[in-house]
Amino acid sequence: MRFVIVGGGPAGTEAATHAARLGVEVVLIERDIIGGAANLWDCIPSKAMIATGGAMSYLNGVGAMGVGDVSGHLDLDVVRRRIGAITGRLESSTERILESQQVEMVRGTGRLTGPHTVVATTDAGERTYVADAVMLSTGSRPRIPEWVALDDRVLTTRDAYPPEVLPEHLVVIGSGVTGVEFVHMFSSLGSRVTLIVSREQVLPRKDPEVAAVLEEDFLARGVRLLKGARAIAIEREGDTVVVRCDDGRVVEGSHALLAIGSIPNSEELGCDEAGVEVDKGGYIPINHHCQTNVEHIYAAGDLSGKLPLSSVASMQGRKIAEHVVGGHSLVAHRHLNYDKAASAIFTDPEIADVGLAEADAFAEGRKIRVTKVPFAASAKALINNDSRGFVKILSDPATGVVLGGSIVGQHAAELISVLAVAVTAGLKVNDIVESMLVHPALSEALAEAAE
């Protein structure tokens, strides 16, 4: 059984490792770096920059904890080297794992030439692989509207790690997850930031209570929010970037950053030759086993148009590996349930969610119990000198089963794991209440919210 994977991001590398462990002969074709865009541009560099920004913000607050005379000086060269070192280390550790599983790694561009044939174009020429199963996991790239001409001051998220000089005034276009993370990143590093928000709240799809905490933080650190405005043009006037909005408002900055979504890398994959359906948006539709309309060809990650998260991409890769060897028919196999995916936004405070959202429960007319505990009541939050935010748990009033939750506050991305396990395993609020947690710890707020 030969399994050929095109695209070595989180979906591709997880599928390759897992399938190889299950005894399959695996070929992984990657044109850039092992670990994918997630490692090179997206998850890892953005969080490394945010960590530097977080260290700078932390220094601003240590006076209240009795530490005086601390001033942070940002060295962008060090930041750049650090990001390169982290990315390099993750790439080589993933490569080592793949090598140890005897995965054949091919550096090149992969393309289907028929339902069972994949051609890899490498520096050494073309090679055709005949495959029993194929997985497409080529990810996505930033969306650049036709009215934008990129240059050294009009940037996508991929041009920002880190810039040669810190933007004096960055205009961020797009207030979804990526946009707000970049607002947080650059404002904590010291840039002045304006955020263009097309709706009336940042993070338009989030719980308004959650978005309100973030807006409060942005305003407190001097971020300008331009609400109800859609950018329609970006012009350069010397070193100034001029962003024009549909309501006539104009913002001038030193740089503009686009964070308005992504488009899937499906154009040059040979989908037509193999009979694989591609939808109007360029995504490849899949069923609950991640199979495309051609049953032995799978698609995963951003290309599949499901949740654009690295964690989801990896889990799809794992499930595909199991399906390739027929493991999905085993009793222990759990199907993917995208509704149970945890996600986080790495702002300050952090925001994390899992499972059912309150607004969706109301929209469906579903009876739920909602309990909320502010971190202001947490001993550890007070000790940490940051008591912003809250824990909210949604449960079934009849059975006590945990259906979902949101956490806003320090380390929310870590704390949500407790609720993610509860949602995945069908645990009850009482299971959390009766866990003997650490004291003093932020997780105690979870037990209180579960009470």
Footprint on this chain of ligand FAD (rule: CB under 6 A): 6-12, 29-32, 36-38, 42-43, 46-47, 109-110, 137-140, 157, 178, 265, 269, 301-303, 308-311, 313
Task: State the minimum distance, in angstroms, from the CB of residue 343 to ligand FAD.
Answer: 7
CA angle in degrees (0–180, nearest 5) for 116-120-124: 145
CA–CA distances in Å: residue 269 to residues 109, 266, 274, 285: 9, 6, 9, 14
- In the block, tokens 């995916």 appear at 341
Nearer to ligand FAD, 80 or 372 (CB): 80
Task: State the minimum distance, in angstroms, from the CB of residue 45 to ligand FAD.
Answer: 8
Whole-number Å distance between alpha carbons of 375 and 379:
8
Instruction: Say if residue 440 is preceded by a cis peptide, omega within 30 of 0.
Output: yes
Nearer to ligand FAD, 110 or 162 (CB): 110
Nearer to ligand FAD, 31 or 289 (CB): 31
Task: State the minimum distance, in angstroms, from the CB of residue 177 to ligand FAD.
Answer: 8
Nearer to ligand FAD, 38 or 449 (CB): 38
Task: State the minimum distance, in angstroms, from the CB of residue 63 to ligand FAD.
Answer: 30
Whole-number Å distance between alpha carbons of 425 and 350:
24
Nearer to ligand FAD, 8 or 405 (CB): 8
Nearer to ligand FAD, 123 or 237 (CB): 123
CA–CA distances in Å: residue 53 to residues 157, 162, 294: 16, 12, 46
Whole-number Å distance between alpha carbons of 335 and 376:
39
Residue 66 exposed, middle or buried by CB count within 10 Å (0-12, 13-18, 19+): exposed
Whole-number Å distance between alpha carbons of 96 and 119:
25
Nearer to ligand FAD, 198 or 316 (CB): 316
Task: State the minimum distance, in angstroms, from the CB of residue 126 to ligand FAD.
Answer: 13
Whole-number Å distance between alpha carbons of 357 and 404:
7
Nearer to ligand FAD, 140 or 387 (CB): 140
DSSP 165-208: S--SEEEEE--SHHHHHHHHHHHHHT-EEEEEESSSSSSTTS-H
Task: State the minimum distance, in angstroms, from the CB of residue 240 to ligand FAD.
Answer: 25
What's the first-to-final CA gap in the chain, in angstroms? 51
The answer to whether the CB of 29 falls within 8 A of the CB of 128 is: no
Residues in Cβ contact with 168 at an 8 Å cutoff, skipping those fewer than 6 apart: 191, 192, 253, 254, 255
- In the block, tokens 């220094």 appear at 59
CA angle in degrees (0–180, nearest 5) for 93-344-88: 20
Cα of 169 vs its chain's centroid, Å: 25
Whole-number Å distance between alpha carbons of 439 and 419:
18
The answer to whether the CB of 239 falls within 8 A of the CB of 121 is: no
Whole-number Å distance between alpha carbons of 312 and 203:
20
Task: State the minimum distance, in angstroms, from the CB of residue 280 to ligand FAD.
Answer: 19
Nearer to ligand FAD, 46 or 94 (CB): 46
Task: State the minimum distance, in angstroms, from the CB of residue 207 to ligand FAD.
Answer: 19
Task: State the minimum distance, in angstroms, from the CB of residue 67 to ligand FAD.
Answer: 30
Nearer to ligand FAD, 6 or 402 (CB): 6
Whole-number Å distance between alpha carbons of 18 and 261:
30
Instruction: Say if residue 349 is preceded by a cis peptide, omega within 30 of 0.
Output: yes
Task: State the minimum distance, in angstroms, from the CB of residue 230 to ligand FAD.
Answer: 20
Task: State the minimum distance, in angstroms, from the CB of residue 174 to ligand FAD.
Answer: 11
Task: State the minimum distance, in angstroms, from the CB of residue 252 to ligand FAD.
Answer: 25
Nearer to ligand FAD, 193 or 303 (CB): 303
Nearer to ligand FAD, 178 or 406 (CB): 178
